[in-house]
Amino acid sequence: MPVHTIRGGYANTYLLEDGDSLAAVDVGTAVAANSIVQYFNRRSLGTSRLKLVTATHFHVDHVAGISRLVDLFPGVKVYFFKTAGEYLKRRSKLCLIRPSLWLKGLSVFMALDDHIKNTAAALVSDKVGIPLPVLRTWLPSRYHAACTLCEGQPVPHLPHWQLIATPGHTTDSICFYNGQEKALLTGDTILTTSGKCALNSFCCDTAAIQHSFQKLLPLTVANIYPGHGNPLHNIGDLNAIGQ
């Protein structure tokens, strides 16, 4: 049940493999969606194996390529965490992060080698999930999403993966955990942009992300797959993560 890392967007895109099924997580740009097709072709994977696409949270760098992916894989289903449904129905708005944190947050993107290419890719991707005043209400997309994912409930087509609600960076942030593989896909809860694991300080609610981290501590984790930065393997202990 490997985790496949796909490059091509602001955030890391992952394919979670579980038996005959594959799920795409955090398809942040149209280029990331195109890269998934190329990956399938290189590996001679049947396109029918891609069953679902989801995101660790509803931010533009994690969801803006989903429309393109649905165009490329017409049979794929889109699932989000239940809280994202409040955004899509315009019952609530994306949380805003304090301006004092934006400069630090933007430095993460500028440190990435391909940020210029990503910016170009963003121009042909959905303009959705932008956590800025006025823009945070823009929700154009070309797909229907089932906002039914919930902690404690099975994830469709991923019987060996557990969804863990980890609010803090956003109110709808989630992680995916596979106990057999000791693998934790962390979205923007834990990042590795500094070369080591660190709890994200670019948050809507710093107290909430600390609480979320406490939820993760009991897990046996050897492999971290972050939203930004490189995957890290054989990490040993979540207690070593910088906070």
CA proximity to 231, closest of 186, 200, 170, 177: 186
What topology is assigned to 3-240 in CATH?
Metallo-beta-lactamase; Chain A (3.60.15)
Give the per-residue pLDDT at 122: 63
pLDDT, residue 126, reads 79
With 0.85 as the threshold, say if the pTM is over it. yes
What pLDDT score does 119 carry?
64
Residue 48: predicted pLDDT: 93
Residue 212 has phi, psi (to 5 degrees) of -60, -40
Tell me if 157 sits within 8 A of 176, measured CB to CB: no
Amino acid identity for residue 64 in this structure? A
pLDDT (0 to 100) of residue 141? 75
| Residue-level pLDDT at 168 | 96
What pLDDT score was predicted for residue 132?
74
In angstroms, rounded to a whole number, what is the distance separating the alpha carbons of residues 111 and 63?
Answer: 21
Smallest CA-to-CA distance from 128 within 114, 143, 138, 113 is with: 138
Amino acid at position 172, single letter: D
Residue-level pLDDT at 242: 61
Position 96 scores a pLDDT of 82
- Tokens found for residue 119: 């910016």
User: Bridge partners of 23?
Assistant: 16, 52
What's residue 77's pLDDT?
Answer: 97
- For every one of its 243 residues, what pLDDT tens digit does the chain have, with 9 covering 90 and above? 689 999 767 789 999 999 999 999 999 988 899 999 999 999 988 899 999 999 999 998 899 999 999 999 999 999 999 999 888 888 888 888 776 665 565 555 555 556 556 666 666 677 777 777 777 777 767 889 999 999 999 999 999 999 999 999 999 999 999 999 999 999 999 999 877 888 998 899 999 999 999 999 999 999 999 999 899 999 887 877 765
Element (H, E) at 190: strand 190-191
pLDDT of 216 reads 96
